[in-house]
A and B are shown apart, each in its own frame.
Chain A
């Protein structure tokens, strides 16, 4: 299973996601990337992120993405 960091790197290899607190505001993920990320998270973690959760606030940084994974039923 890939980590969130590995998935982000796969989507946008040119950016260093460790340096940002807000991937959306910093322009590291656009709306297409977010939908791509949702599909990859669903598949990788065996969950289904809800439509109402596909909003920028949930994809700001590693912490919010991990919180979203937990909310969507992923248990580490």
Chain B
């Protein structure tokens, strides 16, 4: 495993694999700025093989694994030759259409990865008729730099760190600076938040949570309504939810979200399972 020093190394590796690919496959959807952040924070490593490239991102106490390969056969062959997969905790996301006929799941299972969770993407169109906050609601506000640790703590306590791509401290700091976290506080305690990413006319909810002791106070709906009210120009709202989290799915359906048939299979290796 070698450290990645520049983003261009990643794209060059993809090019090398892709140039001779008969059925190119990947779970890496490169966003240059995100890759740059990983490189800057010395989190990204790689291993280049003939017909496949592997990228490892350090995340808390495990690694997120990304690959690109010339075809499924090369992927399986080169995976078997990766020594780190047998000794380090690894998590991999496979994003596919629900109806994909060329799923890579069987290959991943054959090399020892097993399904840990399944997420489905939900979406709703933009709507001009967002409901205003009622007078009894506490007004959500944007999180500030003094809230970084509290945001990190509530996300760590409320979401699955393998399945839900929890942000690092520096990612939370960037989100706060970009006004992407709406929150409600009771005195000095963070009661709930809605963390989103907006790009042009699309906005994605990354996390929506209310701490247990505040869950009867309608903070969740206040956060959601504030979110929609501040995103009147958005044409499409997205989110990912764990596919068997029925209470969450029902809540999102209440706000008009429906499945858009894209799934994320979260796979873990044997080191994590044991």
Contact = CB atoms under 8 A, between A and B. Distances in A.
B14 A54 contact: yes
Interface residues of A, number: 23
Nearest to A31: B29
Given A15-B235, A35-B29, A52 B202 contact: no
Interface in B1-34: 8, 11-19, 21, 24, 26, 29-32
Contacts of B198: 27
Nearest to A52: B11
B95 interface: yes
A5 interface: no
A39 B201 CA distance: 24
Contacts of A50: 15, 18-19
Interface of A: 14-15, 22, 24-28, 30-32, 34-35, 39, 42, 48-52, 54-56
A45 to B, nearest CB: 15
A27 B14 contact: no
B200 interface: yes
Interface residues of B, number: 29
16 contacts: A14-B125, A27-B202, A27-B203, A28-B202, A30-B199, A30-B202, A32-B29, A34-B29, A50-B15, A51-B13, A51-B16, A51-B19, A52-B11, A52-B12, A54-B14, A54-B30
Binding site of A, secondary structure by majority: helix, strand, loop or mixed? Answer: loop
Given A24-B200, A30-B199, 16 more contacts: A14-B236, A15-B201, A15-B235, A25-B199, A25-B200, A26-B199, A27-B200, A27-B203, A28-B200, A30-B202, A31-B30, A32-B262, A34-B29, A50-B15, A50-B18, A51-B68
B11 A27 contact: no
Contacts of B29: 30-32, 34-35
Nearest to A34: B29
B26 A35 contact: yes
Contact of A28 (B16, B21, B201): B201
A42 B18 CA distance: 11
Contacts of A48: 18-19, 21
A51 B235 contact: no
Given A15-B235, A39-B24, A55 B11 contact: yes
Contacts of A14: 125, 235-236
Contacts of B24: 39, 42
Contacts of A51: 11-19, 68
A71 to B, nearest CB: 13
B97 to A, nearest CB: 9
Given A14-B236, A48-B19, A55 B32 contact: yes
